[in-house]
Amino acid sequence: MKFYYKDLELEIPANIYYPREDSMLMLDILEKTDLRGLKVLDMGTGSGILAVAAAKKGALVLAVDIDKNAVEIAWKNAAANNTVIRYRCSDLFEKISERFDLIIFNAPYLPADDTRIQELPQWYGGPNGREIIERFLRSAKDFLTEHGKILLLISTITGEKEVKNILDKEGFGWVAIKREKIPWEELVVIAARINI
């Protein structure tokens, strides 16, 4: 299915995450951020929408997904939108060995029962919705430059307080920079950086 947003045009097959309110919230923040020359990691790139938007704003982007189909589609979408982006299929930071000024992650944040997790393992954040986020936050500091920042999108369903506790435990200073109410939940974007 096609997805259009401003000057972006993406092709998104049914098995790849179709951009939703969460993607749009992140896009909105990226649009207002000066990304020129910054090294950006788009974790869980899906269709590549955030990676393409960041590259269009002058960032040097590495886009990562655990799903090799997503990586392929994101690569095609980058080319179709005249952007040059590096791609890697990786379980979080497993295949990454460099540091970034900004790591963006529209994380799989919804809890799901075992059946749903088995059907679409890459879409759900585990039984409590926080497994992937917790693993991500445990490793992220090793992949940030000295003043590097994270933009993490979660939902109140993920457990906002619990995620903030993980950030505290892992030594991040954080602030919720954007919120949006949607029918069943509130989306929250958290900006975090390592406490110095």
State the Cα–Cα distance between residues 185 and 128, nearest whole angstrom: 15
| Min dist. Cβ of residue 77 to ligand SAM (A) | 11
Cβ closer to ligand SAM: 17 or 100? 17
Site for ligand SAM in 156-195 (CB under 6 A): none
State the Cα–Cα distance between residues 152 and 139, nearest whole angstrom: 14
Among 62, 61, 66, 69, residue whose Cα is nearest residue 13: 69
Instruction: Collect all residues with Cβ–Cβ distance below 8 Å to 189 and sequence separation of at least 6.
Output: 25, 26, 29, 151, 152, 153, 176, 177, 178, 179
Among 108, 126, 129, 148, binds ligand SAM (CB under 6 A): 108
List 188's β-bridge partners, or say none. 154, 179
Cβ closer to ligand SAM: 124 or 172? 124
How many residues bind to ligand SAM according to rule CB under 6 A? 22
Does residue 81 touch ligand SAM according to CB under 6 A?
A: no
The pattern of x and - marking residues 4 through 43 that bind ligand SAM according to CB under 6 A reads -------------x-x---x--x----------------x
State the Cα–Cα distance between residues 27 and 47, nearest whole angstrom: 13
User: Where do contacts with ligand SAM occur on this chain (CB under 6 A)?
Assistant: 17, 19, 23, 26, 43-47, 49-50, 64-67, 70, 91-92, 106, 108, 122, 132
